[in-house]
Structure 1
Amino acid sequence: MPISGSLPAITPFFVPSPRVAGSQAAEAPPAREAASPSAGAEARRSQVDARATRETAQLDEAELDLLRKLKARDREVRAHEQAHQAVGGAYAGAVSYTYQRGPDGAQYAVGGEVSIDVAPVAGDPQATIDKMRTVRAAALAPAEPSGQDRAVAAQAMQLMLQAQTELAMMRLDGESKDSAGASAESQGRPDEAARAYRVVDAFADGQSTATSPDRFNARA
């Protein structure tokens, strides 16, 4: 489910982090605190923050504006594709992103895609119906589905309708067979009634030998 509309590429400028720190962050920590591992790590972070602050300040207004747009686009793309994957579950593949380097040197996602399995379940229309419901929900999961997302949802709906038709025909065929079996059973009953009548008639004629099961079967 690709997302189009990447931002124009620009010449990159390397900035390790956009975080802002105070001017005193570049100062070396006291010798007493340098012996502590946590204090040393904090000092290194402060130095990186200070360098980032100085280098970010070198970006012009256009580059800062592009950086803000890239960060917003990155959040949007990731949320979009993660929504597909979360709802698609076992039918959704891994997320694939398209990146663009920002003026701070970092990579930002500007496009993405998640593969979705839309193949029907062979020989099982009910399973196909359940699967296509999940696929359609996954395609429309993002807040703003793309044109490709809607196309996948439409395809899943079409396959689901076909499976529903197939399932209805299977059930109708099963009901027809049951009805035919019941009809055949009912047609056999008059013959049984006729044999019972002959037994009663034999009693009326004084033919007591007709009460023998073997004799009855022979007469039938």
Structure 2
Amino acid sequence: MSHAISSAATMPAPLHSQDRLDPTMDGSPTATGPEPSEDPNTVTRGSSNTQQQDRVTLSADAQVVRELAARDSEVRTHEAAHAAAGGGYAGSPSFSYQKGPDGQSYAVGGEVSIDTSKVSGDPQATLQKAETVRAAALAPSQPSSTDRAIAAKAAVMASQARAELAAQKSDQAPVMTTEESSTPSSASEENSGSLLNRYI
């Protein structure tokens, strides 16, 4: 997710008493006013406005640079969290940049690719992978909507892997004959009781 950064509007510079001109608005000093001076320490109206505008522009540029630097830090931290939590399933972060008024490039967007495919023929490995992918998607402090969608996809993959594991376990369970199932042995009753006690 990227934020649009707008610079502050340039406000007109305030006029100081030394900058006031004749009310005729023709741009010439009043007959009773001071004569223009060639002294470089004297500020005329034109240079005062230019200096004020330069200060406002510098101030606006500094604000834009601060916003870009903050966004850059946020983006890099977000993508680093994905990459670190994703382990071997995650790629390196890639970024999109915006050049600031200071000439520097700032990261304003980014992404980390992550492998969300199942591990063929191994539901246990698929389950572990799905849990890692989900953790990686939700690793940043503020996951994006895309991050949450990937986490949901990983949760579905984990659920399917659990179902496959349960099916495999039921296929591997020993089948009892009718005689064995109707005559419970004391050992199996004892085991059932001990299992029950473990869960109570």
Give the length in aligned residue pairs. Answer: 134
Alignment partner, residue 132 of structure 1: 130
Check the 8 A contact 1:7/1:110 in 2, yes or no.
Answer: no
Provide the TM-score with structure 2 as the length reference.
0.62
Q: How far off is 1:4 after superposition? A: 3.1
Alignment partner, residue 80 of structure 1: 78
> What residue identity is the alignment partner of 2:175?
S
> 1:13-56 CA distances to partner (integer Å, 9 max, x unpaired)?
xxxxxxxxxxxxxxxxxxxxxxxxxxxxxxxxxxxxxxxxxxx9
Aligned CA RMSD, in angstroms, stands at 2.4
Q: How far off is 1:162 after superposition? A: 0.6
Q: Which runs of 5+ in 1 are unaligned?
A: 10-55, 187-220
Separation (CA, whole Å) in 2 of partners of 1:81 and 1:156: 18
> What residue identity is the alignment partner of 2:59?
E
> 1:114-142 CA distances to partner (integer Å, 9 max, x unpaired)?
00100011111111000000000000000
Separation (CA, whole Å) in 2 of partners of 1:6 and 1:92: 28
Q: Find the residue that maps to 1:115 and give its secondary structure.
A: coil
Mark the structure with the bigger radius of gyration.
1
Q: Find the residue that maps to 1:104 and give its secondary structure.
A: coil
2:175 aligned with 1:179? yes
Q: How far off is 1:59 after superposition? A: 4.9
> What residue identity is the alignment partner of 2:69?
K
Separation (CA, whole Å) in 1 of partners of 2:100 and 2:3: 16
Q: Which runs of 5+ in 2 are unaligned?
A: 8-53, 181-200
Separation (CA, whole Å) in 1 of partners of 2:55 and 2:152: 49
Check the 8 A contact 1:6/1:110 in 2, yes or no.
Answer: no
> What residue identity is the alignment partner of 2:153?
Q
Alignment partner, residue 115 of structure 2: 117
Provide the TM-score with structure 1 as the length reference.
0.57
Alignment partner, residue 155 of structure 2: 157
